Amino acid sequence: MLDLFSDEAPWAEPLADGAVILRRRARQQGEALLTSIAQIAEQNPFQHRITPGGYRMSVAMTNCGDLGWSSDSRGYQYTEADNLSGHRWPAMPQPFRLLAQTAAQEAGFAGFQPDACLINRYEPGAKLSLHQDKDEKDLHQPIVSVSLGLPAVFQFGGFARGDGVQRVLLEHGDVVVWGGPSRLRFHGILPVKPGVHPLAGPYRYNLTFRRAR
């Protein structure tokens, strides 16, 4: 496991054409990012959404930004307000936006302007099945995904659910960016193992930045 307090500089680890892991990229910002997540969750608490098929998601989620992603019996959608509370999503903190933009630029995607940030909270055993991010209007925009807290195994596959997958360990502060020829690759998270992180406690958090409209 990476040393949380190591001074080793971030580095880029290619995944595929148009996809890269920026190792440790957000590590020094981790404590501030987690504080902002807690503040967002005070305004819009984490919820276990229901899939269109009627299943309770093991991952708890909230959102910030102009739009938020959610799921219910009607399907998956981006909305300006939470369909559970009717309240608008909290504003996206400027450090979130700057991190997403600079990480995207470092990965070769200049001009990224995220308008949605999905915040997932994983407790031990929680997972995210293989899926594509395809609900966004402009699929030329990349995805920027920031890992915080407990480590997890990220699955990065092909363009069909049954394609082979790469499995890579993501740790606190790692940022994955994918777009261009990799934009519609299937991806997911294997069940998170129990542990206690010095900053995040018994959880893994993930920030997923997108341009939804």
CATH of the domain at 34: 2.60.120.590
**Which residues have CB under 8 Å from 43's CB, separation 6+?**
87, 90
Query: pTM, whole model, 2 decimals?
Result: 0.95
Which residues face 178 on adjacent strands?
A: 19, 143
pLDDT the model gives residue 75: 87
Domain of 79, in residue numbers: 11-210
Helix (H, G, I), strand (E, B) or coil at 186: coil
CA distance 73 to 51: 6
Residue 4: inside a domain: no
pLDDT the model gives residue 6: 54
Region class of 159: left (phi > 0), else alpha (psi between -120 and 50), else beta:
alpha
For the chain, the domain total comes to 1
Measured in degrees and rounded to the nearest 5, phi and psi for residue 39 equal -70, -40
Q: Is 197 annotated as a binding residue?
A: no
Q: Is 135 annotated as a binding residue?
A: yes
Q: Is 48 annotated as a binding residue?
A: no
Q: Is 55 annotated as a binding residue?
A: no
Express each pLDDT in 29-86 by its tens digit.
Answer: 999 999 999 999 999 999 999 988 899 999 999 999 999 999 888 889 999 999 889 9
Q: Is 208 annotated as a binding residue?
A: yes
Express each pLDDT in 131-145 by its tens digit.
Answer: 999 999 999 999 999
Residue 143: inside a domain: yes
Measured in degrees and rounded to the nearest 5, phi and psi for residue 41 equal -65, -25
Q: Is 207 annotated as a binding residue?
A: yes
Name the band, by pLDDT with cuts 50, 70 and 90, for residue 174.
very high
pLDDT the model gives residue 209: 98
Q: Is 56 annotated as a binding residue?
A: no
Q: Is 187 annotated as a binding residue?
A: yes
For residue 155, which of 183, 185, 195 has the smallest C-alpha distance?
185
Angle in degrees, CA 85, 62, 119, rounded to 5: 170
Contact between residue 185 and residue 208 where contact means Cβ atoms under 8 Å apart: no
Name the band, by pLDDT with cuts 50, 70 and 90, for residue 9.
confident
